[in-house]
Every structure is written in C-alpha cells, then in structure tokens.
C-alpha cells in the first residue's frame, strides 16, 4: 500500500438541510428569491463539494420534526458539518435552535438567500449556529460550503 493510500481519508460528509417551502425556489417570489431552483442549488453544492473533497447530501422538508431528526442523526452518523436553511422556521423555532445546540460541536452554518437582518427578522436558529451566510442569493449556499470546507480541513500551519 502506498503512503498516499494509507493517509488518504474518505471524503468528509456535509448535510444540507432545506426547510419549508424551499422546494418552490425558482417559482416562489422570484423577485425576492431569484429563479434558481432547489435542484440546481443541490447540483451546484454536490459539484463544489466534490472539488473540495466533500460528499454533500441534500434534504428538504416542510416539517420541523424531520429537520430536527435529520440534524440530530447527523451528529451520530459521521457527518462533518451541516448547512441549514430552515426557511421561516429560522425565525420562530426554539426547538430547531435547541437541536443545533444539542449537536455541538458539529459545525452548523445557517444559510439564507436573502439578507434577513435587512428585513428585521430575528435569528433564533442563527444564534445557535457556528456562522451565518445570507444575502447572496443561491450563491449563499456555495459561500457557506466553501467556508465549512475550510473549517473541516482544520487550522492551517504557517502564515
């Protein structure tokens, strides 16, 4: 066995959770959320993940409990990190915020297509997350994934 084969590690896994109504992206209020579909976002995330040495799994649910169950399971199944766009639940769900806290130290990054702070939305879930990326449209997901990849790679040596 070569040294490279001995030291090669399997790709880290990242879970992407999309909350309520995000399945309607591309058709839902395009003036606010753009015309990119959720399927296109998921394809772009998988492709970017592959370039970054990550395996990206995507899941959408309109149900708070499914999102919570998925998040809790990720903490136990070897998932390296989570991108979470909880949709409107991000502003109202104490249960989802508690689930984010319950999976620590698993890094969870909140993602939003729009700048929710500019619309005076509270950040209940975001306050529990490691970081938040919002306001870049569909690109918010890619920015968040690249940042999460850096976190998962660990600290760099040197300047």
- Cα–Cα distance measured from residue 16 to residue 130, given in angstroms and rounded to the nearest whole number: 15
Phi, psi for 110 (deg, rounded to 5): -80, 140
- What pLDDT sits at residue 6? 38
- Cα–Cα distance measured from residue 70 to residue 97, given in angstroms and rounded to the nearest whole number: 14
**How far is residue 127 CA from its own chain's centroid?**
15
Each domain of the chain, given as residue ranges in start order, spans 11-146
Catalytic positions, please? 33, 112
Angle at the Cα of 11 from the Cα atoms of 138 and 53, rounded to 5 degrees = 50
10-residue mean pLDDT series, the chain (159 residues): 47 95 94 94 98 97 98 96 96 97 97 91 92 97 97 78
Q: Strand, helix or coil at 78?
A: coil
Q: Global pTM? A: 0.91
Quickly name the fold that domain 11-146 has.
Answer: Rossmann fold (3.40.50)
């Amino acid at each position: 066995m070569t040294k490279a084969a001995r030291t090669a590690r399997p790709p880290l896994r990242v879970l992407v959770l999309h909350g309520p109504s995000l399945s309607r992206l591309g058709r839902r209020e395009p003036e606010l959320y753009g015309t990119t579909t959720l399927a296109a976002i998921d394809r772009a995330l998988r492709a970017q993940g592959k370039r970054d040495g990550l395996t990206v799994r995507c899941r959408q649910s309109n149900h708070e409990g499914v999102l919570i169950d998925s998040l809790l399971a990720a903490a136990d199944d070897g998932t390296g990190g989570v991108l979470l766009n909880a949709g409107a639940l991000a502003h109202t769900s104490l249960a989802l915020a508690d689930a984010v806290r319950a999976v620590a130290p698993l890094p969870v990054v909140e993602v939003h297509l729009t700048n929710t702070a500019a619309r005076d939305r509270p950040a209940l879930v975001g306050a529990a997350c490691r970081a938040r990326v919002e306001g870049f449209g569909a690109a918010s997901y890619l920015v968040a994934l690249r940042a999460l990849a850096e976190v998962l790679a660990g600290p760099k040596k040197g300047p």
